[in-house]
Structure 1
Amino acid sequence: MSRSTQAVNGGSQVLLWDKLQKMNRKKLPIGIQTFREIIEDGHYYVDKTSYALQLIEQGKYYFLSRPRRFGKSLFVDTLKELFEGNQALFMGLAAENRWDWNKKHPVIRISFAVGVFRNRTELDQRLYEILLDHQNTLGVQCQHHSLGGQFEELLALAHRKTGQRVVVLVDEYDKPILDNLENRDAAIAMREGLKNFYSVLKGADQHIRFLFMTGVSKFSKVSLFSGLNNLIDITLESEYSDLCGYTDDDIDTVFATELPTIDRIMLRDWYNGYNWLGRSVYNPFCVLQLFRTKKYHPHWFGTGTPEFVIKLLRQRQQFTPDLSRMVASSALLSTFDVDDMPLEALLFQTGYLTVDSCDDTIPGQLQITLKYPNKEVQSALNTSLLQGLTGNHSAPVQNIHRLHHLLKQTDWEGLKILFQAFYASIANDWYRKNNLDSYEGYYVSIFYSYFAALGFYIKLEDPTNLGRIDMTVIDNGQVYLFEFKVVDTEEPQGKALQQIKNKGYAEKYQNRGERIHLVGVEFSKISRNIVGWEWETLP
């Protein structure tokens, strides 16, 4: 089966691993119209063609932002095969009886998903190659020499030759810019080149039947989309929240034969949670890798090193505990440019944060609270943050395993020594270069990130009737209540633990039947380490 065939039959998500080939082609309960198993080759598919039909019926120009490895390219393939009228690929799917298979449209598919472009010359060369390939496929020949001129002419010639307006599909439209974000001049050159190229689409409305663009980031209209202000952005439209990704229904129905060997709750905790104001979805790449390997690893996170993200968080001295509770407007989350990259927008669009809740009580002022999507992202991102915050790429991983062991043993003295070692291992030169003496949140950030890297449930500024607990950590029947103080001396003040006790913070959790540990931690600005470490385990 060709890749395009797989893409259509699978809608926007396809199982591509070999194991299912050996499953004796067992049938799954279908039950829901949008699910289908292709018996012939042993693959299981989630059909997203109903979403494709809905988009085509309701509009003409669309933009969708989703993180990398989330099925955007496969959905674009679905649209391509649909408009080209490949009816045999849609047998039994939602589109089979709802599409006019007698009408076929010329399709121009532009993709930057493969390859890296480091300068404008390389980008322009690739665009010329894409246009030439489509001229050969469509049997037309452009006479204009400029990129914009050839693109505009190609649209007109394809329309004239076939008698049908053209479908334009642009996949990963922003990748040439994102690949160069650390080189401002190169990123701007890419942006201007793409802006010039895409602007042709605005003036070619009479030749276009349907336009669909995908990418990771949504660059502001004034920078890249100034010529495409007619695009409908469906990124945060609730009805399309699960256009890419797997829902709980998909997992329970399409992948039912895999579940007997999988911890269903752990599967949800590790890979579900992505949300765009509608139904939450699982990361499809991680689900497929889990079923293949039977191991809970940061499968998605490991496919792309977020060095730029870590560097930006460090430069802006981001208080890492706030990552799990950022608040932003929907407008801010859609704001992105080479010279204007709000952290909230960057982390949301790239998939490191997702929608937790929203407040729409004020008309036109949608406020969104963000969170980590799941344990995979929480654990992997905080491990990377520790490597960036400490300037050490090997010690944090070793320390995380040591921390987990000491917590299981409830070895408080060992934990104190370990945490002191965390801070003592940071070179003085690192403090000087990063001006951390004026950054009190740095100390708590490292402490928090070690627990977050373990995938524990963490609640910050946990409210009680007498105040707020700095940090509550819950895991495996244990509740840890932390209070942090930063002092100007090298001697402990004994105030952190006493505050937990005086304000009765533990009362909130005493009815849960779990062991409760009270921990007071004091950091010294002078020694840049923990000077106060007191604990008490309630009976």
Structure 2
Amino acid sequence: MKNKKLPVGIENFEEFQRENFYYADKTLFIKELLENWGKVNLFTRPRRFGKSLNMSMIKCFFEVGCERTLFNGLKIMREKELCEKYMGQFPVIFISLKGVDGLNYKAANAALCNIIGREALRFQFLQKSSHLSEEEKDSYRRLIKIGSDSQAFFDMTDSILTDSLQILTQLLEKHYGQKVILLIDEYDVPLDKAFQQGYYNEMVSLLRNMLGNVLKTNDALYFAVLTGCLRISKESIFTGLNNLKVHTISDVRYDEYFGFTDADVEKMLKFYDMSSYMDIIKEWYDGYIFGNVNVYCPWDVINYCDELLANPQTRPKNYWANTSGNAMVRRFIGKADKNTKNEIEKLLDGRTILKAVKEELTYPELDDSIDNLWSVLYATGYLTKRHSDLEDEELMKLAIPNKEIRKLFTDLVKDWFQETTLADTSRINRFCSAFSRGDAALIQDMLNDYLWNSISVRDTAVRKNMKENFYHGMLLGMLNSQENWMTQSNAEMGEGYSDISVCTPERTGIIIELKYAHDGNLQAACKAALKQIEERKYDVGLQRQGMKKIMKYGIAFYEKECMVVMR
């Protein structure tokens, strides 16, 4: 086994190099950043695509006193003139706003004070700098003043907080005689949290003032880099900022520096002697298009490879989709009208849909229309674009990128179906009681109604048994609504395992076998389901449990149609 560790959850570039983690070399990002000069640069990418690691790399390269050996053997070191001119030549301020959270504005404000205060503490030499006046030293001390508030470790007034980054850049520039590089990671997280908790306007005002002060007409600033998931409208927090260059996932510049390319994945798999897994990794975690480059989610690839090293039989699963809540997709599905449901079905079927994508929004606009939610799903990585020759730049062919995200959508559709179905208790009780009465016609009619108003899973790329699992889960959830029933899934019955079995207090046993009619022949699929019940003697298992009456159901599904046959 190779001696480099896989960097699961590591975002600190220095730690990569010191602790011997495997690193997919993205250091030429520095060269492109300098050559495509922008005073203020904003990069928007989905979470877990390497934004924080790239920011840490920039800090390690430019910061005064940098350790050059961290970059030994990396591509940027081949650029000798560039390294000589820029490496270790600048004071760098680096903050992440990921932790700016709180149930109210006061708590979030305190969190921001703590983040900036901790970064300011790195520069305590400013208190003794011979290049600063006493008044300037006092202004620095106000940034690191310890407070008595239980929420805020650092005691900053609102005016000091809004001026804090500007003050720090000016003091560092005067001390070093060199302009400052400012790095702000996850700039949009405070707005997201504020929107969810109801103090959005206050947070917008705070960030607008703070960023405006440090980024506009600030002679102490050499350049700034900001990263986030969403491109927030200039009118929201970047008002009057004319020197902002925005690089979204649609832009061709920097397209290879966030996420893994085919070459990155092939090289890493070869390094760990796992090249045979390339196809399955591509199927599950590839599929994103950034600019003109095909991109994998690095978080997924690294996590899966890490598990493969421990167990080569490990099957792929959701890693990226489980790293935070999927409230956005759930809200999107919940708001879907009939047309949108049909579009979701197309996506689950592996097809594309044509949508006008807005890449600049404010958080209050996200829920204004379902069209805006399409745009957010694209920006946050739940959907990706497919190459097309469309002349309208806003129009995009959108698709689900890979198996991981398709499974996420499928699971969320199933959860949404259960929630909406079980909310109508009288209807669901009538549906379930039809099983114990033997009313196959009513079961079929009601199931067809449910399916018509739901979102079907008909992806031709999904294996037949996976489609059966989807309908199995939906029906099982409905039957589980009966608290006095003992409902089992895949329980051992007779000479096999029945899909669903039920024991009622009246000692009526119900056996359900589901089939997906791949060819659309529902009748033949129902017949096959009932034949399986008989041949494997599933009823014997229920008789052993004391059931006096046994109801046997074969249920077949095909897209939005179903057939129910009872014996």
Q: Which bin holds the TM-score, normalised by the shorter protein?
A: 0.5 to 0.7
Counterpart Cα distance in 1 of 2:199 and 2:244: 26
Deviation at 1:70, TM superposition (A): 1.4
SS of the residue corresponding to residue 168 of structure 2 reads helix
| Counterpart position of 1:193 | 206
* AA matched with 2:213: V
SS of the residue corresponding to residue 43 of structure 1 reads coil
| Counterpart position of 1:56 | 34
| Counterpart position of 2:402 | 374
Counterpart Cα distance in 1 of 2:118 and 2:560: 65
* Contact 1:358–1:366 (Cα < 8 Å) also in 2: no
Counterpart Cα distance in 1 of 2:444 and 2:7: 42
Q: Which of 327, 345, 353 lines up with 1:321 in the alignment? A: 345
SS of the residue corresponding to residue 287 of structure 2 reads coil
Q: Which of 40, 46, 50 lines up with 1:67 in the alignment? A: 46
How many equivalent residue pairs?
A: 404
Deviation at 1:73, TM superposition (A): 0.4
Structure 1 residue 273 corresponds to structure 2 residue 273: no
* AA matched with 1:305: G
Deviation at 1:102, TM superposition (A): 6.3
Deviation at 1:455, TM superposition (A): 11
Counterpart Cα distance in 1 of 2:445 and 2:96: 46
SS of the residue corresponding to residue 108 of structure 1 reads strand
Question: 1:286-320 CA deviation, whole Å, 9 max, x = no partner?
Answer: 11111111330101111112024202321233312
* Gap change, CA 1:178 and 1:172, over 3 Å in 2: same
* Contact 1:218–1:334 (Cα < 8 Å) also in 2: yes
Counterpart Cα distance in 2 of 1:392 and 1:115: 34
Q: Which of 132, 137, 156 lines up with 2:122 in the alignment? A: 137
| Counterpart position of 1:111 | 96
| Counterpart position of 1:343 | 373
* AA matched with 1:126: A
* Gap change, CA 1:15 and 1:421, over 3 Å in 2: farther
Question: 1:420-473 CA deviation, whole Å, 9 max, x = no partner?
Answer: 9799589xxxxxxxxx99xx9633x1344898698989xxxxxxxxxxxxxxxx
* Contact 2:163–2:210 (Cα < 8 Å) also in 1: no
* Gap change, CA 1:385 and 1:303, over 3 Å in 2: same
SS of the residue corresponding to residue 388 of structure 2 reads strand
* AA matched with 2:256: D
Counterpart Cα distance in 2 of 1:421 and 1:257: 56
Q: Which of 241, 255, 259 lines up with 1:228 in the alignment? A: 241
* Contact 1:382–1:452 (Cα < 8 Å) also in 2: no
Question: 1:2-55 CA deviation, whole Å, 9 max, x = no partner?
Answer: xxxxxxxx9xxx93259xxxxxxxxxxxxxxxxxxx998653211111012211
Q: Which of 348, 359, 365 lines up with 1:333 in the alignment? A: 359
SS of the residue corresponding to residue 456 of structure 2 reads helix
Structure 1 residue 251 corresponds to structure 2 residue 265: yes
* AA matched with 1:442: N
Aligned-residue Cα RMSD (Å) equals: 3.9
Counterpart Cα distance in 2 of 1:421 and 1:67: 43
* AA matched with 1:446: S
Counterpart Cα distance in 1 of 2:76 and 2:164: 34
Structural mapping, 1:428-443, within 5 Å: 442-443=453-454
SS of the residue corresponding to residue 222 of structure 2 reads strand
Deviation at 1:376, TM superposition (A): 0.5
* Contact 2:260–2:297 (Cα < 8 Å) also in 1: yes
SS of the residue corresponding to residue 319 of structure 2 reads coil
* Contact 1:166–1:210 (Cα < 8 Å) also in 2: yes
| Counterpart position of 2:509 | none
Counterpart Cα distance in 1 of 2:239 and 2:181: 21
Which segment is superposed worse, 261-270 or 57-66? 261-270
* Gap change, CA 1:181 and 1:483, over 3 Å in 2: farther
Structural mapping, 1:145-160, within 5 Å: 145=157, 146=159, 147-160=161-174
Deviation at 1:338, TM superposition (A): 2.0
* Contact 1:106–1:165 (Cα < 8 Å) also in 2: yes
* Contact 1:181–1:338 (Cα < 8 Å) also in 2: yes
Taking every aligned residue pair, what percent have the same amino acid on both sides?
23
Counterpart Cα distance in 2 of 1:252 and 1:521: 38
Counterpart Cα distance in 2 of 1:423 and 1:449: 24
Counterpart Cα distance in 1 of 2:87 and 2:27: 18
Deviation at 1:259, TM superposition (A): 4.7
Deviation at 1:209, TM superposition (A): 0.8
SS of the residue corresponding to residue 415 of structure 2 reads helix
* Gap change, CA 1:285 and 1:155, over 3 Å in 2: same
| Counterpart position of 1:446 | 456
* Contact 1:380–1:453 (Cα < 8 Å) also in 2: no
* Contact 2:518–2:558 (Cα < 8 Å) also in 1: no
* Gap change, CA 1:336 and 1:368, over 3 Å in 2: farther
Question: 1:33-90 CA deviation, whole Å, 9 max, x = no partner?
Answer: xxxxx99865321111101221123213211111111111000001111111432211
| Counterpart position of 2:113 | 128
Counterpart Cα distance in 2 of 1:162 and 1:345: 44
Structural mapping, 1:506-525, within 5 Å: none
TM-score norm. by structure 1 comes to 0.66
| Counterpart position of 2:23 | 45
Counterpart Cα distance in 2 of 1:112 and 1:422: 53
* Gap change, CA 1:520 and 1:87, over 3 Å in 2: closer
Deviation at 1:483, TM superposition (A): 11
* Contact 2:284–2:403 (Cα < 8 Å) also in 1: yes
* Contact 1:17–1:288 (Cα < 8 Å) also in 2: yes
* Gap change, CA 1:321 and 1:532, over 3 Å in 2: same
- Name structure 2 gaps, 5 residues minimum: 10-15, 127-136, 143-156, 309-313, 423-438, 468-515, 523-555
* AA matched with 2:107: E
* Gap change, CA 1:358 and 1:152, over 3 Å in 2: same
Counterpart Cα distance in 2 of 1:155 and 1:232: 20
SS of the residue corresponding to residue 67 of structure 1 reads coil
